Structure 1
């Protein structure tokens, strides 16, 4: 059970971070990583990164995930057009457990959430939900992909998935490889991407907002 569910079930007035700290201080509760599952289904539907299927019939696969300098969230496959309702569902099922995991590992951890500028990410219902969950968000300029570290991680993932010209016989095969490649991302790479942000911002300022080679 996540800290959000505990808070809701017990009708607690404290924040989820407080629940995390309380759980971390007890010997009864501990974080257990979700066991890997077979091919994800339709209900395993935010920020969509598109992978070419490279199989007969064409098409694409969309995924969402989150990252920090300390690790990555579980990846989620999306189907169909995304909207605020589906976005909130994804944040609930994938972002909250990821934040809980980070908070349980470090009492002093204070996450700041950065989303891209997809229209439904700015929906009032999403903003209200983030505020209710006490999730601090980052303000940053629109149309600034060079200021989103996970964009680089998506690039890494695409290269890994299609390494050596790898092809796929089915969508499920592609999804399986995406999960495998995502699980192999090293913390060292995440730390480098995050520590590079000051330099990245300086280069964006120097280029007057133009694209940078970073």
Structure 2
């Protein structure tokens, strides 16, 4: 996937694993030709068992827990937003998975993306770009969209480097690194504020970059342009 031009973030989203693990896998594959490190030997296993026994004994002796409960998978939320020249929708927060119904009713309709673009450019005088996710390309979704706007269909697979919104997510991710929300409600408030305070200059530069992205892809005969963005 990485050799095909997918970014670490894209691989992480598709496989639903952390970006840190993706980096480790890529490093292991490049250096050792496999995803995981060598299996631990008997000696290491013996040491681990001794350590586990020691911790259990210490816990019983001092009557205090040294174990911390931790959820195997942290709760995640999905965000959606759309940008164009002089157009920015509200940020849509989705809890759970997105199917066709959710995409049409809770994202497209709720964001007013079609109405906003129509008011700026006129009906059917602009093109709606989306990636190839199943809810985006389902028959029902495309029928709904094509009755209301021009849709760029099909969108080439494995091409996040062609989509300026991916760079916008990276910008937001950088802005959120030093934030430490205490709960989901606070996190949603912070991330919404980051989206709402993005400068128009940033959005404009990303939208205009589409022309250069297309020229680069043609120049490189379809190869990834991920190194340029």
Q: TM bucket by the smaller chain? A: 0.5 to 0.7
Structural mapping, 1:14-163, within 5 Å: 58-89=74-105, 90-94=107-111, 97-105=112-120, 110-133=125-148, 135-139=149-153, 140-162=155-177
Q: Give the superposed CA RMSD.
A: 2.5
> Judging changes above 3 Å, is the alpha-carbon distance between structure 1 residues 73 and 129 closer, same or farther for their aligned structure 2 residues?
same
Question: Using a 3 Å threshold, how does the CA distance of structure 1 residues 109 and 183 change in structure 2: closer, same or farther?
Answer: farther
1:71·1:187 contact (CA, 8 Å) conserved in 2? Answer: no
- Partner secondary structure for residue 77 of structure 2: strand
- Rounded to whole Å, the distance in 2 between the matches of 1:65 and 1:74 is 7
Measured after TM superposition, the shift of residue 70 of structure 1 is 0.8
Displacement of 1:211 after TM fit?
4.3
SS in 1 for 2:165: helix
- 1:99–1:111 contact (8 Å) kept in structure 2: no
Q: For this pair of structures, how many residues does the alignment match?
A: 158
Greater share of helix: 2
Query: Which SS does the other structure have where 1:77 is aligned?
Result: strand
State whether residues 204 and 212 of structure 1, in contact with CA within 8 Å, keep that contact through their aligned partners in structure 2: no
Deviations 1:135-173 (A, max 9, x none): 1011331111011111111111111122xx221110111
Distance in 1, matches of 2:124 and 2:146, equals 18
Displacement of 1:105 in angstroms is 4.4
Does 2:195 correspond to 1:178? no
Higher Cα Rg, which structure: 2
Offset at residue 107 of structure 1 (A)? 5.0
Does residue 1:187 correspond to 2:176, yes or no? no
Q: Decide whether the 8 Å contact of 1:84 with 1:120 is kept in 2.
A: yes
Q: Quick one: higher RCO (CA 8 Å, sep 6+), 1 or 2?
A: 1
TM-score by length of 1: 0.66
**Cα distance in structure 2, aligned partners of 1:143 and 1:65:** 20
TM-score by length of 2: 0.62
Q: CA deviation at 1:109?
A: 8.3
SS in 1 for 2:226: coil
- 1:5-57 C-alpha deviation (Å, 9 max, x unpaired): xxxxxxxxxxxxxxxxxxxxxxxxxxxxxxxxxxxxxxxxxxx999x9xxx85
- d(CA) in 2 for partners of 1:78 and 1:100? 21
